[in-house]
Amino acid sequence: MEQTQDAGAVVDIRGLNTRFGRNVVHDNVSLSVHPGEIFALVGSSGCGKSTLLRTIIMLLQPVSGSIRVFGQEVVGLRDEEALPLRRRWGVMFERGALFSSLTVAENVGMVLREHTQLSARLVAEVATMKIALTGLPADAGAKYPSELSGGMRKRAALARAIALDPELLFLDEPTAGLDPLSASGIDELVRSLRDALGLTIMMVTHDLDLLWRAADRVAVLGEGHILGIGTMTELSRSDHPIIREYFYGPRGRAAREQAWKKK
Amino acid sequence: MERVAETMTDEQIAQLVIETDTAPATAALSLRCAGAWIVQEIAQLERRLEALSMPGDGNVVIDGSAISALDTSGAWLLHRIIRKLEQRGRSVEINGLRPEFSALLQLVASSATAPENPLPPAPSLLARIGRHSWRHLLELSGMLSFIGECAIILLHSLARPHRIRWRPVLHNLQTAGFEALPITGLLSFLMGVVIAYQGADQLQRFGANVFIADLVGLTMLRELSPLLTAIIVAGRSGSAYAAQIGTMKITEEIDALRTIGVRPQELLVLPKMLALIIALPLLTVYTDATGVLGGMIMARAKLGVSFDVFLDRLGDAVSLSSFLTGICKAPVFAAIIALVGCHQGFQVTDSADSVGRQTTVSVVQSIFLVIVADALFSIAFNWLKI
């Protein structure tokens, strides 16, 4: 695999190795995410997708390798140096990770208050606007996370992730645990956010429908390596056994057929 | 996209320039927007906007051609300016905005919702007192019904001892009892030292040195050591019970237990209560000993009362009933601590804040109730002349 840096990439990973004890999670993983694209990481459970995401957002330290985000090396970056970088990305966690003692509007507003000097009134207005952008009803802002359904919680988490208008958005399993209707709502939301706000989106997902409908490029992770990388159409022609199994399993076939029908 | 490539400099903060058109016939006001209208840069502009007045009452032309970057927050601010002008009946025309920026402005405008309802007025003092009292009454009745449930389950279990879960009982015995030995022992030892030290002066004045054994023995065995041990255990274990059960409630583990058909009280409360009822009297015996030991060492150092003399006197001074009055309080204290801790755990609602609050309440309440119970014991013993 090529080891040169990709200058224009938003996220650029070269030769990444991650280990938990003796368990090798990533073995020389390299990939890059281009500006404005929706990039998806897929792979079977436990193959290290979420670990890779957590490594990029500096929650985990890799053993070796380089990760550049907006051209800046994040491996070994100190917290104070990382702050400007953290402002430029938003993260949506798999289970929302909304602060349970704050209402949804306060959850979104907290990020704004923390990083800007906007007046309380503007913070409240912008938070309400972000909540509306993610398709939540107007009264959701005053509710606490525990009063929301799973799908609404995901949307609220997304509203918090885009609070600072990040240039890069990380989504961990945006559709996991949602009913098909809510999940397809999230598909459209992800795409429309990218189109409207010019975001670059990197997501981890198991959802084949979401992959077919929203992802521009997809990387398949397995056995610690990148098994394949490309558009869904390209990957579906791959002859790697694990990729074939992933896309041509019973569920994969149905999702693909549906995607063809749509086109 | 270009926003990614751009770096923000000081010159790029959001700006708004107001130009009154020189030709009076049109009476148009022209607003020229410039700089980066993004969330990090609009704070200053927003503050100045509050004080800004828009002269005239004719058309307004907004020139957005100099806006170098726009995000949703900036677009919202622009939308707010436009909306404000339109509310005053002025027509607004926007020129020169880049197509992607006007799309963003459209998006933000379309998601604008009706302003939120104003908060309901704060309740009056009387209403607040009423609500507070009502909440406390509910809490009290909740506590009583919890005690009732636990008592029923305890009776059920005692009728069928093979159903008692001994493994968690033993585990709790270890964590709440055995692991509390160092701290309770140390504190009670120090307490014995302090009492002997305080008493020594007074006794020496009367030449009644040997009565130090009475002083230390009776205060430690009857009152201090059961109370001290109960307070330490309430802080150590009562809080742990509340936090554990509270967290289990948030993660729906309590609901899971119910659906499996296990009563949460049976699995979570009963073993803790049984273990503490066994452990606390044992701990009290142990702290009796360490407390007296502390007093004994101090008596020799300060009053020259040797260990032999001290122990001799102790045997005469402290009757079996004095020892037992101290010990028999311990199981009651244990039940209070376990019940309050577990009950507060079950009171946790869905937020992390609530775990902290109920844990605090559990410690405060159990210490309070332990001291109240101790006072009741004193009155009862006084009546019974023990």
State the Cα–Cα distance between residues B277 and B170, nearest whole angstrom. 12
- Res. B42: pLDDT tops 70: yes
Domain of A116, in residue numbers: 98-165
A196 and B4 within 8 Å at the Cβ level: the answer is no
Domain assignment present for residue A16? The answer is: no
Whether residue A139 lies inside any domain: the answer is yes
Residue B20's pLDDT is 57
> Is residue B2 over pLDDT 80?
no
Question: In A, which residues are within 8 Å of B357 by CB distance?
Answer: none
- Res. B372: pLDDT tops 90: yes
- Quote the number of domains for chain A: 1
Q: What pLDDT, on the 0 to 100 scale, is given for residue B56?
A: 67
pLDDT value at position B195?
A: 93
Mind listing the pLDDT tens digit for each residue in B125-169? 999 999 999 999 998 999 999 999 889 988 888 888 887 888 889
Record: contact A116-B104, CB cut-off 8 A: no
pLDDT tens digits for range A108-165: 888 888 888 888 888 888 888 888 888 888 788 888 888 888 788 888 888 888 888 8
Which carries the bigger pLDDT value, residue A233 or residue B334? B334
Higher pLDDT, A26 or B223: B223
Confidence of residue B10 (pLDDT cuts 50, 70, 90): very low
Say if A151 falls within a structural domain. yes
- Structural domains of chain B ordered from first start: 2-110 (3.30.750.24), 154-384 (no CATH)
pLDDT at residue B359 greater than cutoff 80: yes
pLDDT grade for B5, boundaries at 50, 70 and 90: very low
B47-72 pLDDT per residue, tens: 777 777 766 677 788 887 878 888 88
Between A182 and B262, residue with greater pLDDT? B262
* Residue A42 maps to a domain: no
Q: Which residues of B are less than 8 Å from A116 in CB distance?
A: 39-40, 43
pLDDT beyond 80 at A3: no
Query: What is the nearest CA distance from B72 to chain A, expressed in angstroms?
Result: 7
pLDDT at B25: 46
Q: Is residue A24 in some structural domain?
A: no
Residues of B with CB under 8 A from a CB of A: 1, 3-4, 38-40, 42-44, 46-47, 50, 71-73, 76-77, 80, 100, 103-104, 107-108, 111-114, 116, 250, 349-354
Confidence grade of residue B283 (pLDDT, cut at 50, 70, 90): very high
- For residue A202, being part of any structural domain is answered with no
B33, B101 contact by CB (below 8 A): no
Name the residue type at position A30. S
- Given an 8 Å threshold on Cβ–Cβ distance, is B1 in contact with A35? yes
Nearest chain A alpha carbon to B42: A118
Per residue in A24-76, pLDDT (tens digit) is 888 888 888 888 888 888 887 777 888 888 888 888 888 888 888 888 888 88
* Per-residue pLDDT at B294 exceeds 90: yes
Across A227-236, B26-35, B354-363, which has the greatest mean pLDDT?
A: B354-363
Structural domain includes residue A144: yes
Task: Please identify which residue in the block is written with the tokens 């622009």.
Answer: B78
Judge whether A18 lies within some domain.
Answer: no
